[in-house]
Amino acid sequence: MQAWDGDGNVHVYKRDRQISQSEKSALKKEQTKRIQEQERKHKEAREKAKEIINSAKYERHAYLAQKGFPDEVGLVIDEILYIPMRDIITYDLVGYQSIKWTGEGFEKKMLYGMRAKGAGLVLGDRKARKTILCEGYATGLSIHRAIKNGRLNASVTVCFSANNLEYIASKLRGVYIFADNDKSGVGEGVAKSTGYHYVLSDIEGEDANDLMVRAGIFAVQKKVLELLSK
């Protein structure tokens, strides 16, 4: 049988014998109950996200300053930065990513219960002719700044993870990818799997934000121009 679990994937369970009609009915009820519970959590997350995003004020934040954007403002409550996450097709708010200082570093969390799969954030004009996908928020800000500097007709979609980038790429057409050059090779591997054109920093371990901090915004702009000319 197949069942949808909370991770959004289909899991296949094999049985050594045929299940009875009553067992099938019980399993169907259990599956329906799980789906309803998941939908309830998604709804609660949407409501919580709406409450937080509507209450937050645009302020500067230490995380943004650390990433090379001291004058950039974000949605902040009690020194916690909230990044809206929206359904990439309908653009309805589904949750958020929060970033706060713990005393040892910045901690990132997604809103509990939210539907993260297929959720992202567009930076720039959603109607732009070209769209560049990336993983992280700071990465997206770096690419967006390069686009603005070059006066390019393109937007950025922040996908928040490599797996989600792959999923979002499958739902959109004609996108480009600025991949993370992580040591594991996951970022480039996912970019390749989409079949779309991609670029990445020449330095292992860097994303677009690392490239900007190390080499300046024009280094990112050069990569963006290379990507969009493909």
Q: Answer whether residue 11 is part of any domain.
A: no
Last residue of a domain, one of 86, 116, 146: 116
Q: Answer whether residue 3 is part of any domain.
A: no
Number of domains in the chain: 2
Q: Answer whether residue 9 is part of any domain.
A: no
Q: Give the model confidence (pLDDT) of 128-165 as tens digits.
A: 999 999 999 999 999 999 999 999 999 999 999 999 99
pLDDT of residue 34: 81
Q: Answer whether residue 42 is part of any domain.
A: yes
pTM of the entire predicted model: 0.86
List the domain range (segments joined by +) for residue 39. Answer: 18-116
Regions of the chain where pLDDT drops below 70: 1-17
Q: Which two tokens stand for residue 35?
A: 């789906």
Q: Answer whether residue 1 is part of any domain.
A: no
Same domain, 62 and 101: yes
Same domain, 180 and 208: yes
